Amino acid sequence: MDVHDGDALDAYSRAVIDVAERVSPSVASLRVQLRGRSRVREAGGSAVAVTEDRLVTNAHVVPAATSSGWATFPDGREFAIELVGRDPFSDLAVIAVNGGTVAAARLGDATTLRVGQLVVAIGNPHGFAGSVTAGVVSAVGRSLPARAGGTLRMIDNVIQTDASLNPGNSGGALATSDCKVVGINTALAGMGLGLAVPVNDHTRGLIATLMRDGRVRRAYIGVGAAPRPLPPRAAASLGRRDGIELIDIAPGSPAEAAGLRAEDIVVALNGSPVVTVEELQRLLSADAIGTPQSLTVLRAGDVVELEVRPAELAAA
């Protein structure tokens, strides 16, 4: 290794050390007790302080059966915690710390991430010990299935990284070299890859809703969909290249009642363009529950207008 290689390695090391030193104080180790039919079980994970008394973690780290728990920070302080709200369909949850204040992490914007960018995964799975791993963003725009009860929904724009995630790191921080948290680590994808729920305008809104209401209400029409390029004539007419193709229609769902069919291509909801599955999910807000919505689809090359009345998506 020549002197320039050594300089590069030192710069890399300094960047990782800086992130670890500045973000780790905001990452807690969680121990939670779960109510059971015959006994109390204990589980754990990590969490990130986003205000002086609120932490964000994964919904699967604090199941609905959570009865009590504790958050331990790297400085040795331990606080009792209370579940404020959880949303299995985004795998996000908010918990409160009681009896003190903590240092909040700075939140970034995952939409600015680029493949190859340095990221640092920080968890606190063993109390005072903590865990720091570094790597790069290996992919963006991934989807991750999230299930609650019998309902499956996709978490969109998940971040894929080769920064190793260790057991207990779920709910920890994924941070950039400027020490901003851009993801909440959620899963191991195998082969040395990890996945993180992105921090962006959408998830910031979900976190704010959980803080305020303790839950997230969503409209549901009951379709599985995937992006698809539009036929050339439709693309020219609509002025865009993509829509989302319906892959399946849930039996007994609002979509089935509205007459939607597999292979329909959704291009608009109430006149607003739909290009991605996330856009359709975003447009199906709580205000749409029980209210007729105008859905524009391409069916065998023809434009068809249908009315669908969304139901509320139930979460366990």
The values of phi and psi at residue 90, to 5°, are -115, -5
CA 261 to CA 281: how far, in whole Å? 18
Neighbours of 226 (CB within 10 A): 12
Q: Is 164 a catalytic residue?
A: no
Give the alpha-carbon dihedral of 303, 307, 312, 313, to 10 degrees: -20
Q: Is 4 a catalytic residue?
A: no
Q: Is 91 a catalytic residue?
A: yes
Cβ proximity of 122 and 24 under 8 Å: yes
Of 53, 60, 126, 177, the catalytic one is 60
Of 29, 87, 90, 91, the catalytic one is 91
CA 60 to CA 89: how far, in whole Å? 10
Of 46, 131, 170, 253, the catalytic one is 170
CA 248 to CA 283: how far, in whole Å? 20
Q: Give SS3 for 148.
A: strand
Cβ proximity of 296 and 229 under 8 Å: no
The values of phi and psi at residue 5, to 5°, are -60, -40
Neighbours of 183 (CB within 10 A): 28
Q: Are strands 180-190 and 106-107 parallel, antiparallel or unpaired?
A: parallel
Q: Which residues are catalytic?
A: 60, 91, 170
